[in-house]
C-alpha cells in the first residue's frame, strides 16, 4: 500500500486512518516561527460523510486508501437496495438506500454513474451532474401569472421533488442539476 508524506498532501487525496478511508477536502500549510511546519487538513470520512480536522507535523505519513472508482450502470431498485453493474466486467454491486443517499433521488434505470468501492464494498455513488427527468406531477400554473422567478413544486419520475418555473406541466422533460437538486431548463424527450 502506498504511503503519502506530508509534502504530498493535497486536496482530493484519498487516505486511510485507522482502517477508515478519508478524502482530503482541504489542506493548509502553516510555518510557525519556531518548530516544524504544520499541515492542517479537513478530511471527510467516506463511509459516514462526517468531516474531521487533523493537524500533522512535517515528516509524518498517511497510508493511501484502498479506494477505487469506476463507471457503472444503475440497473434497478429492489426494496431498500440499489443494484449497479460495472460496465467493463459486468460485475454487480448492491448498495443500501442509506449508502446511496440523496443521489438515489436522481437515479434512473440504465443510467451510467460513478461508484466508489472500499475493500471491494461499494460506499458511494455519484450520478451524472445533469440528468433529464420527466415531470410526474405538478399543480397547474395560474393563468396570467407571468412574474419572473415564480416557482412551484414538481414531482419527477424518480420520486425527486424540485422547484420549477410556473410554466412547467405534467409530462414535460426537465434538465436537473444532481449536485444541487435545482431545475436548469426544459429538455427534449431523451427517447425521441
Structure confidence by residue, pLDDT tens digits, 31-65: 888 878 888 999 988 888 789 999 998 888 999 88
Entry pTM = 0.75
Cβ–Cβ < 8 Å for 177, 130: yes
Structure confidence by residue, pLDDT tens digits, 59-78: 889 998 888 889 999 999 99
Torsion of CA 181, 183, 184, 190, to 10 degrees: 90
Three-state SS annotation for the chain: CCEEEHHHCCCCCEEEECCEEEEEEEEEEECCCCCCCEEEEEEEECCCCCEEEEEEECCCEEEECCEEEEEEEEEEEECCEEEEEECCCCCEEEEEHHHHHHHHHHCCCCCEEEEEEECCEEEEEECCCEEEEEEEEECCCCCCCCCCCCEEEEEECCCCEEEEECCCCCCCEEEEECCCCEEEEEECCCCC
Q: How many CA atoms lie within 13 A of 157 on its CB side?
A: 15
Cα(93)–Cα(84) distance, rounded to whole angstroms? Answer: 5
Structure confidence by residue, pLDDT tens digits, 129-172: 999 999 999 888 666 655 667 888 999 998 899 998 888 888 99
C-alpha cell at 2: 502506498
Which domains, ranges and CATH numbers included, belong to the chain?
3-64 (2.30.30.30), 67-126 (2.40.50.140), 130-187 (2.40.50.140)
**What pLDDT score does 152 carry?**
87
Amino acid at each position: 500500500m502506498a504511503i503519502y508524506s506530508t509534502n504530498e498532501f493535497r486536496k482530493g487525496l484519498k487516505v486511510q486512518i485507522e482502517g477508515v478511508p478519508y478524502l482530503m477536502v482541504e489542506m493548509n500549510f502553516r510555518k510557525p516561527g519556531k518548530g516544524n511546519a504544520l499541515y492542517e487538513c479537513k478530511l471527510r470520512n467516506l463511509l459516514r460523510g462526517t468531516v474531521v480536522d487533523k493537524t500533522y507535523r512535517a515528516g509524518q505519513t498517511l497510508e493511501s486508501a484502498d479506494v477505487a472508482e469506476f463507471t457503472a450502470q444503475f440497473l434497478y431498485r429492489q426494496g431498500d437496495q440499489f443494484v449497479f453493474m460495472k460496465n467493463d466486467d459486468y460485475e454487480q454491486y448492491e448498495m443500501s438506500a442509506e449508502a446511496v443517499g440523496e443521489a438515489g433521488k436522481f437515479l434512473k434505470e440504465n443510467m451510467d454513474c460513478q461508484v466508489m468501492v472500499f475493500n471491494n464494498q461499494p460506499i458511494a455513488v455519484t450520478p451524472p451532474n445533469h440528468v433529464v427527468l420527466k415531470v410526474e406531477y405538478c399543480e397547474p400554473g395560474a393563468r396570467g401569472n407571468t412574474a419572473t422567478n415564480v416557482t412551484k413544486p414538481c414531482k419527477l419520475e424518480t420520486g425527486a421533488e424540485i422547484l420549477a418555473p410556473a410554466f412547467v406541466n405534467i409530462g414535460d422533460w426537465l434538465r436537473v442539476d444532481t449536485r444541487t437538486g435545482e431545475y436548469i431548463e426544459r429538455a427534449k424527450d431523451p427517447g425521441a
